[in-house]
Amino acid sequence: MKNCIKLRLLVLVLLLPSGLSAQDAQQRATIDVQGSADVKVVPNQVFIVFGIETSDPNLTVSKSSNDERVKKLLAMTKELNIDPRYVQTDFISIEPWERELRDEDRTVRREYRVRKNIAVTLSDIAKFEELLSRALESGVNHVHGIQFRTTELRKHRDHAREMAIHAAKEKAALLAGKLGRQVGPAVRISEYGGGWYSPYSWWGGQGYGSNAMSQVSSQAGEASANEVTIAFGQITVTASVSVSFALQ
């Protein structure tokens, strides 16, 4: 009789944890959703990368010619009252190369090619067309990158995040409701898919720091003096989140 009682107690002890585990699993049921949002912003800043390239059989001549063009560009930025902190040389290259001349003998001539990139951040975007036109006149022969930005990126990023969270919550409520369930508190939140804006150097191939949010940019190759009409439009600040809600 005593052995029978001990056996029954043992069975009850073994079954009890199993029942609690099922209850815990029910309480831990979640729904995982993602939310995204875009915020359109009128840019108030322009980042542009100018490229100056010269070539000559004489290295000194090639470098002197390049230096002269750069001096004119830097002097012009001062005339436009652009803060020197926002004018930076971001790439320099000096290299020999063989150039095939367009003559009957297809002569190959050894030359020295000098390249420099000057990155300019312009806060007064009303001066953008003048800056571009005068840069080309001063000897710039490449426009490697143009990016429209906003100085209030943090504010717009936070707004986009709020909208993304709201979108995720609405989606979770809709999906759970269709299954006869309710959404409880969030148990896990993460941000994903953040882009980064990267003014690039055509010759250097360098980026400038990543951001969680992206700003849509316009890129340009070579430009001519006639390509000075710019429509600034809007840039897009985006946010994407992943949220796990408890199911009730």
CB contact at 8 A, 208 and 90: no
3 state DSSP class of 84: helix
pLDDT tens-digit series, residues 74-104: 999 999 999 999 999 989 999 998 877 776 6
- pTM, whole model, 2 decimals? 0.67
| Pairing of β 142-149 and β 45-56 | antiparallel
Give the up-direction half-sphere exposure of residue 233: CA atoms within 13 A in the CB hemisphere.
Answer: 12
- CA 63 from chain centre, in angstroms, equals 34
User: Given this structure, which CATH class describes domain 41-153+196-240?
Assistant: alpha beta
Q: Where are the domains of the chain?
A: 41-153+196-240
Which tens digit of pLDDT belongs to each residue from 180-195?
A: 999 999 999 999 865 4
- Residue 107 confidence (pLDDT) above 60: yes
**Cβ–Cβ contacts within 10 Å for residue 209, how many?**
7
Are 229 and 129 contacting, i.e. CB atoms less than 8 angstroms apart?
yes
pLDDT tens digits for 168-226? 999 999 999 999 999 999 999 999 865 434 333 344 444 433 333 333 333 333 333 34
**Do 161 and 167 meet the contact criterion of CB atoms below 8 Å apart?**
no
State pLDDT tens for residues 44-78.
899 999 999 999 999 999 999 999 999 999 999 99
